[in-house]
Amino acid sequence: MLLKDKVCVIAGAASLRSIGYATAELFAEHGAKVVVVDLMMDEQVLASIKSRIEAQTQKPVSVHGFRCDISKSEDCEQLVKNVIDLHGTMDCLVNSAGIVRTQSMLDMTEKDIDVMINVNLKGAFNLCQSALRVFAKQKSGTIVNVSSAAAQRGGGLVGGAHYAASKGGVLSLTKSIAREFGHMGIRANAICPAMIETAMLDGLPPERLGAIIDAIPLKRTGTTKEAAGVCLFLASDLSGFVTGATIDVNGGSHIH
Ligand SMILES: NC(=O)c1ccc[n+]([C@@H]2O[C@H](COP(=O)([O-])OP(=O)(O)OC[C@H]3O[C@@H](n4cnc5c(N)ncnc54)[C@H](O)[C@@H]3O)[C@@H](O)[C@H]2O)c1
């Protein structure tokens, strides 16, 4: 039980196939009070998440959910207020919400760039800022931001330059938070996944997928559970002296 009674907010968890959902399930298994958040969250989605987590963990779990558009700062402020009204505190934020678009830079419109930056980078900023208002008061809290290997290698697998740049911004944001808030006992870290089996890989043609897998040293795609495991490490006291770090979850596809 690495997160017993810890209030953990996980954004980007609407799909049962997502990294966010797998993180919520693993955190609940470890005793967390889980709050799942997504643009697509509604009562039906929440009920499916709750029943799947209960089926997997075989025990009563604390799972609540809120709809939030992370690109809107007022939504993020309201979300954190709702969490505090519900649980009285908040211990951890995992931001796994995001979008991906595969486009050549020459084909991107200004709107394409705005949407990408607004969700992936400004959204991460908004969520972290709202969480940090609480964390700074209580002088504790952990943040795990889900970036991407695209940030490190200049895209090239899934996602165009706007995606890679937005995720690069998430890494800089995470390091800045770690530096600014470390003296308060607040930690912030990022993970850089690649080729994790979620809806984000659905659009890849089989021959392209095969070629990418062939270039991965572990010769396979990753599971959402494997990404969730690293989030658990970073959210829990196991990583108590780790902050500002970027952890790769990529099967060795980018070793640096
Ligand atoms: N799957 C991979 O191989 C991979 C690789 C690198 C990075 N990532 C990153 O992992 C994270 C999780 O992606 P996933 O693979 O689980 O895919 P996913 O599409 O299942 O999860 C992303 C979730 O974010 C939500 N979302 C989108 N815009 C939002 C907004 N404005 N406000 C709130 N929620 C919003 C979506 O509704 C969706 O449920 C993403 O940030 C993605 O960029 C995934």
Contact indicator for 249, 194 with CB cutoff of 8 Å = yes
Cα of 77 to ligand 1 centre, how many Å? 20
Atom of ligand 1 nearest to the CA of 95: 41
Residue 105 confidence (pLDDT) above 90: yes
DSSP notation for 74-126: HHHHHHHHHHHHHHS---EEEE---------GGG--HHHHHHHIIIIIIHHHH
pLDDT in tens, 112-124: 999 999 999 999 9
Pocket mutation for ligand 1, best pick of 10, 17, 18 (most atoms within 8 Å of C-beta): 18
Minimal-distance CA residue to ligand 1 atom 7: 148
Total structural domains in the chain? Answer: 1
Tell me whether residue 255 is in a domain. Answer: no
Tell me whether residue 78 is in a domain. Answer: yes
Tell me whether residue 170 is in a domain. Answer: yes
Cα of 183 to ligand 1 centre, how many Å? 31
Rounded CA separation 194/152 (Å): 11
Confidence of residue 2 (pLDDT cuts 50, 70, 90): very high
Structure tokens given for 68 = 């939030």
Query: Mean pLDDT in the chain?
Result: 97
Q: What is the mean pLDDT of residues 41-49?
A: 98
Amino acid at 105: M
Spell out which residues line ligand 1, taking CB within 6 angstroms.
11-12, 14-15, 18-20, 38-40, 68-71, 96-100, 119, 123, 146, 148, 193-196, 198-201
Structure tokens given for 104 = 């050549």
Residue 14 confidence (pLDDT) above 80: yes
Residue 206 confidence (pLDDT) above 80: yes
- Residue 143's pLDDT is 99
Burial 71-81 (b: 16+ CB within 10 A, else e): beeebbeebbe
Confidence of residue 63 (pLDDT cuts 50, 70, 90): very high
Cα of 15 to ligand 1 centre, how many Å? 9
Residue 57 confidence (pLDDT) above 80: yes
Contact indicator for 7, 87 with CB cutoff of 8 Å = yes
- Residue 250's pLDDT is 97
Rounded CA separation 81/134 (Å): 9
Contact indicator for 87, 51 with CB cutoff of 8 Å = no
Annotation marks residue 21 as catalytic: no
Tell me whether residue 1 is in a domain. Answer: no
Tell me whether residue 194 is in a domain. Answer: yes
- Residue 113's pLDDT is 98
Residue 87 confidence (pLDDT) above 90: yes
Tell me whether residue 139 is in a domain. Answer: yes
137: exposed, middle or buried (Cβ count in 10 Å: 0-12, 13-18, 19+): exposed
Minimal-distance CA residue to ligand 1 atom 42: 98
Q: What is the mean pLDDT of residues 181-203?
A: 96
Amino acid at 83: V
- Residue 29's pLDDT is 97
User: Which listed residue (123, 163, 164, 189) is catalytic?
Assistant: 163
pLDDT in tens, 139-165: 999 999 999 999 999 987 889 999 999
Tell me whether residue 64 is in a domain. Answer: yes
From the CB of residue 164, how many other CB atoms can be counted at a distance below 10 Å?
A: 22
- Residue 156's pLDDT is 77
Cα of 213 to ligand 1 centre, how many Å? 21
Tell me whether residue 169 is in a domain. Answer: yes
Please give the angle made by the CA atoms of 145, 67 and 224, to the nearest 5 degrees. 45
Percent share of the chain, pLDDT over 70: 100
Residue 83 to residues 7, 97, 100, 132, 186: CA-CA distances in angstroms? 8, 18, 28, 13, 18
Contact indicator for 178, 244 with CB cutoff of 8 Å = yes
The CATH number that applies at residue 82 is 3.40.50.720
Q: What is the mean pLDDT of residues 226-235?
A: 99
- Residue 187's pLDDT is 99
Structural domain including 81 reads: 7-248
Minimal-distance CA residue to ligand 1 atom 44: 193
